[in-house]
Structure 1
């Protein structure tokens, strides 16, 4: 009877469900997208390794305004070598230089990130060649013109049928032989980790950067890898003391470097994403309140319109509880149907967003259950007052109604 009553007013029933549909789909879509982004970011950071510390060069100031981390040369390759020799907790140490530059192959060109690295860079970043090889110690010492490219650069420069290994490319006008292609690592937030090329640190320093510190070969940063996450605190303590001794720093407040912990970054990022997702879900939940008000309004109108019908039912023996159940059922059916449509729409939105923006497709089971439960609760609560009004109608007065 409830379904028949709703189908007799399809347009009104559909518009009434709209608020619930929007609310449920928003809650499910936003919470699932938030979890998907969180999972992808976590996987990306774990792909780098959570047993890694990153030492960044200091920042310059101009007019009291910071120019950003790494804007001044305060770290050297020799610093990295000293940490490798003197820090017992360090298992891998790798220094690097980093610049954005144009890379050319034939008539094709692309702007990418050029890394000048040492031999330990692949192990420190958990990034290894998929084909070919990384440069060796002899090539590093000789500042050889060799390069290892990442998949996005290969895709941007080389036709699908061309093997890049053995080909030559130009970086800042200099010719380099391609000796390897890195494995695919995917994106880390807005940064595409596959959009990069790697050359020997010595070649980068001599040909692209062209400036060295008075204390040695300048670098933008140093990766430090420990045995596991439990060793990072000791490794950070050791690295800080070694650098302070080398840089003649007496108090920590004067440090011309900064050390970041990958595990701490991951934890902080997850906390921020969780809070943002929760806040947006709460805002989306307002749509459910609006949907509930819509259901209550329509059911109140329905009671007024069907006063005569209620009188006939009561005259034929329908009890107050029967009338109450009838209108409550209609309210729950309309909200439940809206909840089902909202769930399907929310899953669809998540699927499209995951494919469009390349993050993990995750459906929050809790959000689906909560969404359906909320839609049923909204229908129940919104239908109570109209149903009670219908049940309390006097059958004689109801039959006299026009």
Structure 2
């Protein structure tokens, strides 16, 4: 075990391989102490990698969902009604009409497609099954604007829209709830608030967006919903909950937003300093805002996880200091047979670095495994950043080096005579 130190008596240097061999041998002979020492590093590195991966995965997943709806889409919602001095939610007032949507389509040059819709929650019944779901009364442009199309059957036609025919296109969740695993549901009749509707299609699955299941929906003609389920409650025209505006590309979105805002103000006779009776949101701004929020949250949590690394480094330093005291006699013997101060210093540094490297490797594997499991359980993209792995491994080595300096320095400065007299 001491042959490297005998070599040192003549050459004054100890080979790196010999230093590492003795460090591993010493650590292996104290498995429990070594395991407990590297535990803080393992937890810290795995936390940094797992949290970074989960944050990036969630961010990418939500971005994909929002982009699936279209980042070149503006959403206009009706204003908020007031009951006494209490302001109701956005969309509770009848300030938008289908005629507004038609005006935007013809008078806003930067707009490519426009779709108006009515939205309500209603009870739907088929045979002995029933469910409460979201009903959308839409026009023909809705599938194109929202980038969602039927996977079975079809969407309703212009003739069915103009004639307020009672037909319905189901979301996949509604299909499973009402019909179970039965295959073809086309032609079946369901009841929405007591009104019979024929199923003509099933939309493709879109998944969830936060707490909202985008497959738990039913689409019917806007005219049918307005006349039979809601009733025309606007002073002029058909009242709608919102209007979706799609520009030719994302670069035209700002121009479209400006044109739509001014057009609606003119149509609704709104002049400064009057407040708008509608609210306009930009999908691209939502993506940007969410990305910034998730990014800041991830940085905050990674910083907290970094505290685990600091704790792990303190643990390494404490155990190494205790090890110096426990091995005082051993150090004295090594010095007596020719080991130099630098040789002792290098060995204790090597032990600290080995603990950090092994702990870092275990932490990386653990962090990747946790991130993969979380991605599969919660259904978001599995993303591993090479930067987070490199940073985590670099941090583990840095922690080991810093934590090992003081104990190694103390060990190298021990007087051999005093050390040999130690019990």
- Indicate the TM-score class for this superposition, using the shorter chain for normalisation: over 0.9
CA separation of 1:62 and 1:290: change in aligned 2, threshold 3 A: farther
Aligned pair partner of 2:132 in 103, 111, 120? 111
Aligned pair partner of 1:281 in 302, 325, 342? 302
The whole-number CA distance in structure 2 between the counterparts of 1:22 and 1:173 is 58
CA apart distance, 1:103? 2.2
TM-score, normalising length: structure 1: 0.97
The whole-number CA distance in structure 1 between the counterparts of 2:325 and 2:164 is 88
TM-score, normalising length: structure 2: 0.92
Root-mean-square deviation (Å): 1.4
CA separation of 1:356 and 1:80: change in aligned 2, threshold 3 A: same
Is residue 2:312 matched to residue 1:295? no
Deviations 1:244-291 (A, max 9, x none): 111111126411001111111111111111111111111111111111
Instruction: Give the greater-gyration-radius structure (CA).
Output: 2
Structure 2 gap segments, 5+ residues each: 1-21
The whole-number CA distance in structure 1 between the counterparts of 2:31 and 2:85 is 66
**Other-structure match for 2:52:** 31
Which range moved further: 97-106 or 119-128? Answer: 97-106
Is residue 2:161 matched to residue 1:140? yes
Is residue 2:238 matched to residue 1:209? no
Which range moved further: 228-237 or 27-36? Answer: 228-237
Aligned pair partner of 1:374 in 376, 391, 395? 395
The whole-number CA distance in structure 2 between the counterparts of 1:210 and 1:63 is 24
The whole-number CA distance in structure 2 between the counterparts of 1:262 and 1:93 is 15
**Other-structure match for 1:187:** 208
Aligned pair partner of 2:107 in 72, 86, 90? 86
CA apart distance, 1:139? 0.9
CA apart distance, 1:116? 0.6
Aligned pair partner of 2:350 in 299, 310, 329? 329
Deviations 1:24-57 (A, max 9, x none): 1111111100100111111111111111111111
The whole-number CA distance in structure 1 between the counterparts of 2:352 and 2:130 is 62
The whole-number CA distance in structure 2 between the counterparts of 1:328 and 1:27 is 24
Aligned pair partner of 1:162 in 183, 193, 215? 183
The whole-number CA distance in structure 2 between the counterparts of 1:346 and 1:66 is 47
The whole-number CA distance in structure 1 between the counterparts of 2:273 and 2:154 is 41
- The 5-angstrom pairing of residues 37-52 of structure 1 reads 37-52=58-73
SS of residue paired to 2:88: strand
Structure 1 gap segments, 5+ residues each: none
Report the count of equivalent residues. Answer: 402
Is residue 2:85 matched to residue 1:73? no
Is residue 2:151 matched to residue 1:151? no
Which range moved further: 103-112 or 22-31? Answer: 103-112
CA apart distance, 1:313? 0.8
